[in-house]
A = this chain, B = another copy of it.
Amino acid sequence: MARLPVYLRALGTFADRNVATVSSEELAGAAGVNSAKLRKDLSYLGSYGTRGVGYEVAYLRYQISRQIGLTQDWPVLIVGIGNLGQALANYGGFVSRGFRVVALLDADPARAGEVVAGLAVRPFADLSAVAAEHGPCIGVIATPASAAQQVAGALVAAGVRSILNFAPAVLAVPDSVDVRKVDLSIELQILAYHEQRKTARFVALDGPDDVRDPRFGAEVPAGAGFGGRP
Contacts and interface: CB of A to CB of B under 8 A. Distances in A.
B170 A16 contact: no
A193 B6 contact: no
Interface stretch (A34-42, A104-112, A123-131, A216-224): A216-224
A219 to B, nearest CB: 7
A161 interface: yes
Nearest to A15: B228
Given A4-B193, A69-B195, A162-B194, A184 B224 contact: no
Contact of A97 (B65, B189, B197): B189
B223 A61 contact: no
A223 B71 CA distance: 9
Nearest to A61: B226
A186 interface: yes
Contact of A5 (B6, B47, B73, B189): B189
A9 interface: yes
Copies in the complex: 2
A83 B87 contact: yes
Nearest to A192: B69
17 contacts: A15-B229, A45-B209, A46-B210, A62-B217, A62-B219, A67-B193, A69-B195, A69-B197, A70-B225, A73-B223, A91-B185, A93-B185, A138-B195, A162-B195, A163-B191, A176-B198, A178-B191
Interface of A: 2, 4-6, 8-10, 12, 15-16, 18, 30-32, 45-47, 58-59, 61-62, 65, 67-74, 76, 82-84, 86-88, 90-91, 93-100, 136, 138, 161-164, 168, 170, 176, 178, 180, 182-199, 209-210, 212, 216-217, 219-221, 223-230
Given A68-B189, A71-B221, A93-B168, 17 more contacts: A2-B190, A12-B227, A12-B228, A58-B216, A62-B217, A65-B225, A67-B193, A68-B193, A82-B87, A83-B91, A93-B184, A96-B227, A98-B223, A161-B198, A162-B191, A162-B192, A164-B188
